[in-house]
């Protein structure tokens, strides 16, 4: 399968000199189509930084970030914004729904900004809301929905259109375990359908949905789970 996201020896330093904070210190990571990678690590280890760089929301101070082979470093602000709208779905830790827009308008927005006609954008948005199980809430404003419902709308917005790369930062934040589970199932389904996904999470249970789990510590990738093995080996190797 093709590599959708690639980080090559990426550094991100905030500030200079003695006050410099090395949020990432030379991280390399490749995520393929059909692969979901979970990023775990203590608070402050650089998880959100990594995701922001992967999504083109922040620029590295060293190294390269490539999306579908295209280095983001050479793109101007407009091109980068377009690439983000078209190819990257981003679920923020704090949702980021626009309060003055209804659910369906929130989801349709990236498509409209991208020049898709109003009606087609609305249709796609409704389909995305349906996919996350809140088809009936299209005309509600964010403050008329529960936290879990808003979360689903945020996911719908990240999944709408043909996004090839889905990035999620603690997408299950304030959700109960059932709803959190449902959100991960959606993410998993989209990845199984051919997208590449990166999931930042504190919860081992949620990282369990990934094909690979990588561990960050003080800005370094220190470890990664081995490729998955067969059921038989797992069962004979543990739990007896």
Partner 1 sequence: MSIRHGLLALLERGQMYGYQLRAAFEESTGSTWPLNIGQVYTTLARLERDGLVRSLPESEAGQRPYEITDAGRADLTLWFATPISRADRPRDELSIKLALALTTPGVDVRAVVQTQRSATMRALQELTRLKYASDKPEDLPWRLVLDAMLFQAEAEVRWLDHCETSLVRYRPAPGRPTGHPEAVDRTDEAARR
Ligand X SMILES: Nc1ncnc2c1ncn2[C@@H]1O[C@H](COP(=O)(O)OP(=O)(O)OP(=O)(O)O)[C@@H](O)[C@H]1O
Q: By the criterion CB under 5 A, which residues form the site for Mg ion?
A: 48
DSSP 141: -
What do you get for the CA distance between the two ends of the chain, in Å?
A: 36
| Interaction of residue 17 with ligand X, rule CB under 6 A | no
The sign of the CA dihedral 59, 64, 67, 71 is positive
Nearest to 47 by CA among 220, 164, 223: 220
| Interaction of residue 26 with partner 1, rule CB under 8 A | no
Shortest distance in whole angstroms from residue 125 CB to ligand X:
29
**Among 48, 106, 150, 179, which residue interacts with ligand X (rule: CB under 6 A)?**
48
Element (H, E) at 52: helix 47-54
| Interaction of residue 10 with ligand X, rule CB under 6 A | no
CB nearer ligand X, residue 14 or residue 189: 14
Phi, psi of 231 (to 5 degrees): -55, -45
Contact call for residues 88 and 56 (beta carbons, < 8 A): yes
Shortest distance in whole angstroms from residue 96 CB to partner 1:
28
**Among 104, 207, 216, 221, which residue interacts with partner 1 (rule: CB under 8 A)?**
207
At 193 the three-state DSSP class reads coil
- Which partner, partner 1, Mg ion, ligand X, none, binds residue 117 by CB below 5 to 8 Å per kind? none
Tokens encoding 174: 């304030």
**Tally of CA atoms within 13 A in the half-sphere of 185 that contains its CB:** 9
Tokens encoding 186: 């959606």
Shortest distance in whole angstroms from residue 237 CB to partner 1:
8
CA 119, 86, 30 angle in degrees (round to 5)? 150
Which region among 87-95, 107-115, 138-146, 201-209 touches partner 1 (by CB under 8 A)? 201-209
Interaction residues for partner 1, span 41-80 (CB under 8 A): 42
| Interaction of residue 236 with partner 1, rule CB under 8 A | yes
Using CB under 8 A, list all residues that contact partner 1.
Answer: 40, 42, 185, 188, 203-205, 207-211, 213, 215, 218, 222-226, 228-229, 231, 234-236, 238-240
Using CB under 6 A, list all residues that contact ligand X.
Answer: 14, 21, 23, 41, 43-49
């Amino acid at each position: 399968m093709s590599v959708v996201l690639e980080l090559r020896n990426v550094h991100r330093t905030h500030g200079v000199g003695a006050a410099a904070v090395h949020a990432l210190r030379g991280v390399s990571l490749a995520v393929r189509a059909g692969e979901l990678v979970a990023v775990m690590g203590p608070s402050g280890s650089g998880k959100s930084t990594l995701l922001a760089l992967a999504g083109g929301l922040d620029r590295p101070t060293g190294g390269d970030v490539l999306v579908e082979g295209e280095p983001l470093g050479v793109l101007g602000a407009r091109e980068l914004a377009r690439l983000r709208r078209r190819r990257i779905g981003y679920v923020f830790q704090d949702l980021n729904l626009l309060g003055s827009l209804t659910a369906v308008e929130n989801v349709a927005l990236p498509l409209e900004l991208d020049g898709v006609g109003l009606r087609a954008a609305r249709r796609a948005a409704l389909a995305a809301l349906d996919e996350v199980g809140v088809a009936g809430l299209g005309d509600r404003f964010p403050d008329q929905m529960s936290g879990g419902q808003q979360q689903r709308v945020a996911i719908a917005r990240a999944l709408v259109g043909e996004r090839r790369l889905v990035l999620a930062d603690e997408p299950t934040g304030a959700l109960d375990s059932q709803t959190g589970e449902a959100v991960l199932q959606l993410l998993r389904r989209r990845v199984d359908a051919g997208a590449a996904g990166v999931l930042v999470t504190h919860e081992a249970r949620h990282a369990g949905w990934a094909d690979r789990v990588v561990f960050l510590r003080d800005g370094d990738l220190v470890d990664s789970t081995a490729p998955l093995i067969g059921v038989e080996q797992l069962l004979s190797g543990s739990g007896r």
